[in-house]
Each structure stands twice: as structure tokens, then as C-alpha cells.
Structure 1
Amino acid sequence: MKRSTLKRTLAVALAATLGLAGCADLGYYWQSVSGHMQMLNAARPVDDWLSDAQASEQLKSRLALSQRIRSFAVSELKLPDNPSYRRYADLHRSAVVWNVVAAPEFSLTLKTWCFPVTGCVGYRGYFNEAEARAEAESLKAQGLETSVYGVPAYSTLGWMNWAGGDPLLNTFIGYPEGELARLIFHELAHQVVYASGDTMFNESFATAVERLGSQRWLDSEAARGNGKARQDYLQFDDRRRQFRALALATRLELADVYRNKPATDAGKAGQAALKAQALQRFRDGYAALKASWGGFAGYDPWVARANNAAFGAQAAYDELVPGFEALFEREGRDWQRFYDAVKGLARLPKDERRKALDMHNNINTETSHG
């Protein structure tokens, strides 16, 4: 079959798989389908790249490392053994997609969009950055705060493994070793459990898997004599945890500011002033962190766009992680038992999932303090 014919066949199959035929907003769905198919079309098996005389030795080294990480994900973390991350594509751009998130002026609750398969989520992704920014401008005109950010990878939840699966990409293949492992584990976790319409549950679960899994990977690397990768990751991860703690404190402060809805203009002005003060404390706190890090500026872009939309999006990746980590401990640090328990939670109504995770976290906290 010719490549152009194969591409059209895959595009039609993907549209059918996702139930896009006849949907409203078909233009948006088509850019999603065509963008994904262009990515798949650019991907080649890792072995082809490793034997390609035109490929750089640095790329070959990173691809070889990725395959060791991929095998570890199966053998040690019991993540899916399938075609995903066995191929590589260079997209010649800095992100695979750009996500748009939006929230009201006095709320951290994200606007949601509903899609086939994934359900309702708090973001809208575009393969073209200009289209993402145009959508953000349209939402701003409706009075919403917006944020646009590049995404290095995303998961098709295993739906496209028949077509080669999710590929490795130039957008993340150069990450430090610990970060590369973290990302691969995170995206594979989405293929294990996915609760339709519950972004926070899904992302927090994947974040818990990435944290626990990358720690195990780096411990194994240290045992093999590669202690530098572990040391570099621990330094970076410590900074990330400090930053996320600062962001969480600001989210809680903003949530308190937004709790009551003023009925008068004077009340709204006072609420706006309190919001501005909270955001200034956040920026001051970040400046202090940067100074303690010796000037490391990796979070500058995030801080520059920090608003309700950005804080709301961050919450999805952090909020429920302690509950998942406590559940992992309760299941004896056995990965398969952990996944089975999470699948059980995914079958519950959303409110019951949250209560169950809170309960696991509270029990774990009481035990550790007991």
C-alpha cells in the first residue's frame, strides 16, 4: 500500500475509532486527526534509527537509553508491553501539541470541553501553536483568563497501538535521564487506567506512577554504577517539589479569596485586590526560590503566565497524588495490585473516588505519625 493511501486509511480509521464522524466542530477534530497522523507518518522504528548512518551518535545513545527504560517499564513496573515508544519521530518543533486552558476571573475551576472517548477535560489541544493562541484570544474576549503551553508528549490511551502506538519524539528525547524515564512512565500509565471525564484522577495517577517508577529506575541505575543520573534527578525533582508546594499554597490562598461571591462593585474590587496580593506573594516566593537555587530559571515561563487558568491546570497533576502514593503502600508496593485497586476506583462515581483516595491518604498519614 502506498504511504499516502495508508495515511488516508489510518486517518479514516482513527476518526471512526474516536467516533468523530458527523460531530459538530469537525474542523477542530480534523486538525486533531491529521496532526496525529502526520506524527505517526514521521515515526520510524528505533532499530531503523540506530542503523541509520545519517543519525547522530547523540540521538542513537538517547534512543538506546529509551529502550532500556521501556523494557524496565514492563519488567519492573508492570506497565503495558505494546508498540508504544518503540518508534521515534522528529517533528522539527518544540512541542507536539499546544494546550489551551481557561478559567473565570475569580475561580480556579477550568472550562471544560467534551470529546469522544476521553470525555470532558479541562483543556483543548492544537497541533498548530497559532491556532491555539487564536482560541485563547477568543476565550479572553469572553472574559476568561487563559494559558497556552506546549506539551512534549500525550497519550492515545492505547487506542492507536494497532497503528504503531505513541512514538518517542524530539520534543522530549533529549531530557535528562530521570526526566525521560518519568515521562515515559507517565504516558504509559494512561494506558493502564483512564476514567473518562476526570482529568484530575487520571493525571494524578500518572504522576504518582512517574514518581514511584522513576525513583525505582534511578535506584537501579545507581546500583549499576550510574549514580550521577540519580543525583541530577534528585536535585531537579527537589526544585520541582518546592515549586509545586509554592503553587499549591497560592492555589489554596486564591481559593479562599474566591470562596465568597461579592454582590457589590466595592466587594469585587476588594476581592481583586486580595487576588493581586496573593499573586504578588507567589512571584516574591518564586524569586526567593530562584535565589536559593543559584539562579535556576526553569519555571520562569510558567510564572510569567501564572493566572487562574495556569493554577487550575497545575492542580490536575498534583491534587490526588498523595492518595495514590498511600494506596501504593497499602497494596504492599505491588504494582499489579496497585493498578487493580486504581481500576476499581475508576469504576466508582467521581465523588466516591475522591473520598476513597482521601481516606487512603489520611490513613497513611496517621500511620506514619503514629
Structure 2
Amino acid sequence: MPSLRISPRTAALFAGTLLLGLPGCTNLGYYWQSVSGHLQLINAARPVDDWLQDSETPEKLKTRLALSQKIRRFAVSELQLPDNASYQRYADLRRRAVVWNVSAAPEFSLTLHTWCFPVTGCVGYKGFFEEAEARAEAGRLGAGGLEVSIYGVPAYSTLGWMNWAGGDPLLNTFIGYPEGELARLIFHELAHQVVYAADDMDFNESFATAVERLGSTRWLTQHGSAAARKEYAQYNERRQQFRMLTLGLRRELSEIYKQNTASALDRRAQAAMKSVAMQTFHARYAELKASWDGYTGYDRWVASTNNASLASLAAYDEMVPGFEALFAREGSDWRRFYAAVKQLATLPKQERHTLLHTFMNNQSKETPDG
């Protein structure tokens, strides 16, 4: 099957509403890098069946692609996620990330700087297909006094807008993930096609994270080998331990930053308290890593920890317990759960956040200690 080709005129029609990580932009240079980068990705993708039938496709890749299709079918049949063109094509981009995101936050705040665009609304990051362009943007933000984080992203969602053109493809950036992690990513990105609330990154990412956690557990229980379940359990234990560590740091820094306005402390004193909190975090991470038998997967993130990276991580974490409680409240029925989340998305932002925290608190009260 030949590569899909899209004319410049067609590209212009959808460019402004393309991407969750790369929304349309009035800045012409950024606008066109978003369009051209995504078109290159689409044109590089071929149907999975083509790769499976190609004698030059490595057997290891064929095995992973076949597994991805089983996970994809499970997502539709068991998790009631959308049945469309997404993740039925594959592209080898010959690089380690599909995009590089830039996030930023003030020196004494965990509130992300936001960029606001049509359709996607306001988001706390800006994505680039070229790492050099992401670093240039980070330099500009840093020169303005913000703390900046740059991170490679293995996948992004077009929210279903591009299913007519082949959908979101499988990529070399994640196809080699362990089975449980591959399932998590596919479930997460498909969840973005179910519900998306403009201007609410925390809601959107926490919802998708809840779906990935619940879904991957069910996939491994029903289809995973003993080895795959063991591997996932180890990854997940480390992930949960690391999340608790970063949550502790976020809470500590939040208390320090509150004093910025409440007590009018001078900036030097506040910076000193922040420095101590960061040093303590690094020491606690070193202790935690010592128990992981040499696993170093979080080293790079920890080395560059700042307000921007902490605030970005929070978007994927803090509301997840509320969504998990809502899933339980809806009888662990996926259709009912999605309907309830869609209803939440229609409410004012603060109201939906309050309800999610209420679900979480009620669930905690109903769960006996131990």
C-alpha cells in the first residue's frame, strides 16, 4: 500500500486542530513545524499487515506488532475504547522520541506556564518535532526567569481528529516496551479519544492514566504470561514508590511557596528552604534506588528536577485516585464509567475537580485500614 499523501491545502485545513501535544498556533514558524512534522509521521506509517508480510521486517518487530494488535483488539472488546484506525499502522521514525515537549514554571510556584490554542485549549507544555527547536524555546523561557523542563515524548494523541487519515500510528519510540508498558501506552492514548476537556490538562491526563492502569492490570490478568506479569509488577512497584517520593517533594515545596505571599519572606530565605527540600529529595531517591538492584530509569529526570518537571508530573497523578474511585462507583463498567466522565467534562473546571476529590475521599473512608 503506498504512503498516504496529503496536499498543502488539506494540511492547512486541519493544521490548527492537529495535536494534543502540538496544537495549532498563530506563530507561523511553530504552525508549520507542527504541520510538516505530523505529515512526515503520517507518510512514514504503513499498515501493520504490510509490515507483517514484508520479508525484510525483523522477526522481533513482527512479534511486537502482532502483540500490539492483540492489545488493540482487547482495548475495543474489553475496555470499550474506540474502534477506529488508530494503532493499526506503524512507522519507524529513526529517533528516540516523536516530539520534545517544553514546560515551564516560576521559581517559587508549581503552576505551569500555559499556551492556549484553538480546540485543545490551554495546555502546560509546547511540543516540537525537532529537539533543537525545543531547546531554543527552553532557552527563551529560561532567559525570562522561568524554570524549564524538556522531555522526549514517545507518543501523542490527535484526539481522533486524524482517524480519517490513518489515525495515530504505532511508533518505534515505544513498540519495544515491555508488554505491560506497551498496553499502558496504547490504552492511555486511546482514552484521550473518549473524553477531552479543553483547558484542563490535569483532568485529561489523570483520566487517561486511570484507564491505562485499570486496563493494563486487566490485560495482564487475562492474557499476560507469568513473566510479563512479574516484569510489570516490578516496574509498577518502582513507579509507585517514585510517585510517592515526588508527591512528598511537591507537598513540601507547596508549603514553602505559600509563604511567598502569606509571610512575605525574603527570596533568599525561601530559596534556601527550597534548596534543602531538593537536597533531601535527592538523598531519599539515592536510598530508594539502592533497593532497586541497579535500576536507573529515573536518574535523568531526578538530575534535572525543578518546578516545571514536578508540575508536569502532577498532571498525570493527582486526580487518578478520584477516577479509580469513580470507576468502582460505576460498578467497574467501562461504558458507565466513560459516560460519567463525559458528564464531569461538561461541568465547570473547579466543580469537576471538587467532585473527583470527593469520590477519592469517600473511597478512602469505605476502605478499611490494612
Report the TM-score, using the length of structure 2 for normalisation. Answer: 0.95
Residue 214 of structure 2 is aligned to residue 215 of structure 1: no
Distance 1:291 1:6 in 2: 51
Distance 1:140 1:120 in 2: 20
Displacement of 1:287 in angstroms is 0.4
- Corresponding letter in the other structure for 2:234: Q
Could you say what secondary structure the match of 1:369 adopts?
Answer: coil
- What does residue 190 of structure 1 align with? 192
- What does residue 205 of structure 1 align with? 207
Written as runs of structure 1 = structure 2, the 5 A alignment for 1:1-370 is 6-15=6-15, 17=17, 24-222=26-224, 226-261=225-260, 267-369=266-368
Could you say what secondary structure the match of 1:159 adopts?
Answer: coil
Distance 2:331 2:97 in 1: 38
Could you say what secondary structure the match of 1:153 adopts?
Answer: coil
Could you say what secondary structure the match of 1:339 adopts?
Answer: helix
The question of whether the paired residues in 2 share the 8 Å contact of 1:46 and 1:87 is answered with yes
Displacement of 1:24 in angstroms is 2.5
Could you say what secondary structure the match of 1:108 adopts?
Answer: coil
CA RMSD in angstroms, aligned pairs only: 2.0
The question of whether the paired residues in 2 share the 8 Å contact of 1:10 and 1:163 is answered with no
- Corresponding letter in the other structure for 2:28: L
Distance 2:108 2:276 in 1: 14
The question of whether the paired residues in 2 share the 8 Å contact of 1:96 and 1:150 is answered with yes
Which deviations, in whole Å up to 9, do the C-alpha atoms of 1:86-111 show, x marking residues without a partner?
Answer: 00000000000000000000001000
Displacement of 1:265 in angstroms is 9.6
Distance 1:286 1:7 in 2: 50
The question of whether the paired residues in 2 share the 8 Å contact of 1:7 and 1:41 is answered with no
The question of whether the paired residues in 2 share the 8 Å contact of 1:95 and 1:152 is answered with yes
Distance 1:263 1:17 in 2: 41
Could you say what secondary structure the match of 1:6 adopts?
Answer: coil
Cα distance, 1:262–1:321 mapped onto 2, change above 3 Å: closer
Could you say what secondary structure the match of 1:109 adopts?
Answer: coil
The question of whether the paired residues in 1 share the 8 Å contact of 2:16 and 2:118 is answered with no
Distance 1:253 1:264 in 2: 16
Which deviations, in whole Å up to 9, do the C-alpha atoms of 1:210-245 show, x marking residues without a partner?
Answer: 0000000000124xxx11101100110100000010
The question of whether the paired residues in 2 share the 8 Å contact of 1:10 and 1:37 is answered with no
Distance 1:175 1:114 in 2: 32
Displacement of 1:4 in angstroms is 8.8
Cα distance, 1:25–1:73 mapped onto 2, change above 3 Å: same
Could you say what secondary structure the match of 2:223 adopts?
Answer: helix
Displacement of 1:26 in angstroms is 1.9
Displacement of 1:18 in angstroms is 5.3
Distance 1:293 1:91 in 2: 32
- Corresponding letter in the other structure for 1:56: P
Distance 2:343 2:262 in 1: 43
Could you say what secondary structure the match of 2:6 adopts?
Answer: helix
Could you say what secondary structure the match of 1:318 adopts?
Answer: coil
Cα distance, 1:324–1:93 mapped onto 2, change above 3 Å: same
- Corresponding letter in the other structure for 1:89: A
Cα distance, 1:169–1:256 mapped onto 2, change above 3 Å: same
Cα distance, 1:264–1:248 mapped onto 2, change above 3 Å: closer
The question of whether the paired residues in 2 share the 8 Å contact of 1:96 and 1:152 is answered with yes
The question of whether the paired residues in 1 share the 8 Å contact of 2:16 and 2:25 is answered with no
Cα distance, 1:277–1:54 mapped onto 2, change above 3 Å: same
Which deviations, in whole Å up to 9, do the C-alpha atoms of 1:312-340 show, x marking residues without a partner?
Answer: 10000001000000000000000000000
Displacement of 1:10 in angstroms is 4.2
Distance 2:170 2:259 in 1: 46
Displacement of 1:262 in angstroms is 6.1
Worse overlay, 182-191 or 4-13: 4-13
Displacement of 1:264 in angstroms is 10
Cα distance, 1:38–1:5 mapped onto 2, change above 3 Å: closer
- Corresponding letter in the other structure for 1:14: F
- Corresponding letter in the other structure for 2:214: L
Which deviations, in whole Å up to 9, do the C-alpha atoms of 1:121-159 show, x marking residues without a partner?
Answer: 000000000000000000000000001000000000000
Could you say what secondary structure the match of 2:367 adopts?
Answer: helix
Displacement of 1:305 in angstroms is 1.0
Displacement of 1:13 in angstroms is 3.3
